[in-house]
A and B are shown apart, each in its own frame.
Chain A
Amino acid sequence: MSVFCEVPQAAPVAVFKLSQDFNNDQFPNKVNLGVGAYRTDEGQPWVLPVVKKVEKIIVQDGSLNHEYLPILGLPDFRSSASKIALGEDSPAIQENRVGAVQCLGGTGALKMGAEFLSRFYNGNKNTKTPIYVSAPTWENHNAVFANAGFEDVRPYKYWDAENRGLDFAGFLEDLEVSCFLTGLNGVRLYFGHDSFSLGVNSTCSIFCLQQSCPEHSVFVLHACAHNPTGTDPTQEQWMQIAEVMMRRKLFVFFDSAYQGFASGCLDKDAWAVRYFVSVGFEMFCAQSFSKNFGLYNERVGNLTIVARDADNLKRVLSQMEKIVRTTWSNPPSQGARIVSITLNSPELFTEWKDNVKTMAGRVLMMRAQLKAKLQGLGTPGTWEHITEQIGMFSFTGLNSKQVEYMVKERHVYLMASGRINMCGLTSSNINYVAESIHEAVTRVQ
């Protein structure tokens, strides 16, 4: 009798299943607009020229070995990675209150942050603290926080499907406290945060008092190039978000997976993160170098920690060590070395920024061309969002039936949510994809 005879078959992770289905498809004109990895105009993966250069440097350096890194990772990597996020001349760094943990990709950085928060934030082992993730968000966010023990992972309003843009009013609403009474018939009576204004249009007996967005809730914010919608708040909107979060004592946890990839400019893409630091938040920022360095499979990530002061930082890092030790002991060295060498050499750093611009530039071009072609075809609907959205992904607005049509009839693979990876578009396939979208929209409702 096996101990595992009760183990149920788990559903496959959607984005990987999509790639698998694509790989198995024999159709000659198939297009993969699924998983988020950069592709050249030939539809090929791209190892950044600067990465190739640095790998050669590493291989030829006889003094390098494969010894363990420290638990928190390669020191030069950690500090230079944090500088990328916060800026070379960040006051917080100068004040010695910025630290970092080298982690396995952005996922690993989120994981470490989540595990720390579940132990030490808002009390002792308080797993009831609400974790807010955007609606929609990267599908792994939920699991990362749930697996760290958090019992209450909730959505905050983000995507306005009707207008294909940011639901800013809804976002702000979810940041504020709102007391509401739920009637037996499900009607809610709302009380505003600063006044008791009742919005009610039917009578019902009071059933229970609830409060949304408690103080100290954790908010996972996408630093730029929101995944999957590609829709970011403007600077004005970020400022308003910060004001509310500061007033309501909410915890800031940035997920920065696309710095440089969004606009092509590292500093521009880090504006929100740096603004929040400047207004005085203690916060976490999970950084990934998978996309902007093309180092997907080397798992290069960094959890940047901004604390009130050096003493708090020290204690936080000491506890991070304990969490790291029981998860992976110490992080992998190859990817961190590549990034560290690059960031710490002025020449290589410049070359890297150039490579990043190349990638971002191609994405921008594909956006412009796709929009133009859809408009040229007269495809029903507005397509402004294709160029207004930013980064690797676009939320096309296609519904699940239309997506199914794309996949089954046209062999164009995209996520059920309508998310496409712009990098999957090339000059050779963009016409086919545009026509496919046109067909899907006109034939399927």
Chain B
Amino acid sequence: PLISWWGGVQMGPPDPILGVTEAFKRDTNPKKMNLGVGAYRDDHGKPFVLSCVRKAEELITAKHMDKEYLPIGGLGDFSKCCAQLALGADSEVLKSSRNITVQTISGTGSLRIGANFLARFHGGPRDVYLPKPSWGNHTPIFRDAGMQLKAYRYYDPSTCGFDFKGALDDISKIPEQSVIMLHACAHNPTGVDPKPEQWKEISDLVKKRNLLVFFDMAYQGFASGDIDRDAWAVRYFIEQGHNILLSQSFAKNMGLYGERVGGFTVVCNDTEEAKRVESQLKILIRPIYSNPPMNGARIAATILNTPDLRSLWLEEVHFMANRIIKMREQLVAGLKKEGSSHNWQHVIDQIGMFCFTGLKPEQVERLTKEFSVYMTKDGRISMAGVTSANVGYLAHGIHAVTK
């Protein structure tokens, strides 16, 4: 045939987040900064391979393991410690074995499996309520799986903080049995997290509305530097009786980005229900990729299950989180030094890898075009891309486009 099957296929738009890196790569300005994708960089702007990861890799190499297929649900050792990390080792859920946790293709894969599971088995409304704004990829993931997206107020642009009243107001109107997505910590893209007292009220309200809670926890350890503190909301909700769905990613907190390490958990009523749910998750997973990749999960499990490596990991996570916090402080100091009259307190108050600067799209465009500072159009910057060497330049650029 002389005509292509694909004549009618349109050019797809570049991914808003990953597309930023592509554009950054093409830029020849020596001062360019990539504040797009959320990947941690050290103070020299270089990717950081954690020592605990290198040590784990050495241990694994020495064991000369085979490469046989993992079970559909992944490496058992990994699923177990993945759940423990999120829920806490003394969690009643784990003791009663009423959770099912499967290894997934990082956070995206976990959310997708969860979305597919909901689409097939959730008896409630098709609607998934996301905070406004949320990670850009949440919407197409749920939509592709057959769910519908709605939103609840979350970010308050006037304060660059949490719109607590707006959130409660919107949540109180969500139809019963709908799914509500909550970012466990270090909200992406805003960096704005509810305070514990606020989480408590949200939990009560969600319970009252009989909503199904889906937590996305991609930054455990990365937010405050303390893994237990960052998992507080997840554990609190479970204690309060919510049988949650939970997605976890080890891309950031272990720096295992490209190894695709994640977990998906369903907290069930009892073991029997967990077994039924597990059987259905396997049926969902098999026609997508059969079984998950070994390498990253093996590294993560080795770290979590080897006391020395686990302690080392906790130190390194703490270190990464602290560097981010320092950069926040230095950016605000830099802006003050530039003579900015704006209130930049939110840069310090926000938590985790991202900062919602409050910059408008036109200002973002100028920052990119005139200063070669690459970020997403919503004004989100990845603090991980900021270093002591370039924080001054960034402050200068931001001041220039906002004065």
Contact = CB atoms under 8 A, between A and B. Distances in A.
B296 A332 contact: yes
Nearest to B294: A297
Given A309-B4, A328-B106, A333 B137 contact: no
B289 A299 contact: yes
Interface string B1-21: 111111111111001001000
Contacts of A318: 11-12
Nearest to A282: B5
22 contacts: A3-B124, A4-B268, A5-B273, A35-B69, A47-B64, A47-B66, A51-B67, A59-B57, A66-B258, A69-B258, A104-B290, A107-B286, A107-B289, A111-B289, A140-B287, A296-B69, A298-B67, A299-B292, A315-B9, A315-B10, A327-B108, A334-B293
Contacts of A249: 1
B266 to A, nearest CB: 7
B332 interface: no
B324 interface: no
A71 B286 contact: no
Contact of B259 (A2, A66, A297, A326): A66
Interface residues of A, number: 80
Interface of A: 2-13, 16, 35, 37, 44-47, 51, 55-56, 59, 65-71, 103-105, 107-108, 111, 120-122, 124, 140, 143-144, 146-147, 246, 249, 251, 280, 282, 290, 294-299, 307-309, 312, 314-316, 318-319, 321-323, 325-335
Contacts of B6: 120, 282, 307-308, 312, 315-316
B39 interface: yes
Contacts of A37: 68-69
Given A319-B12, A328-B289, A4 B105 contact: no
Contact of B266 (A4, A67, A334, A335): A4
B289 A104 contact: yes
**Interface residue SS majority, chain A:** loop
B57 to A, nearest CB: 6
B47 A65 contact: yes
Nearest to B108: A329
Contacts of A35: 69
A67 B9 contact: no
A147 to B, nearest CB: 4
The 6 closest A-B pairs by CB, nearest first: A308-B4, A104-B289, A318-B12, A333-B258, A143-B287, A45-B66
A65 B49 contact: yes
Contacts of B12: 315, 318-319, 321-322
Contacts of A107: 286-290
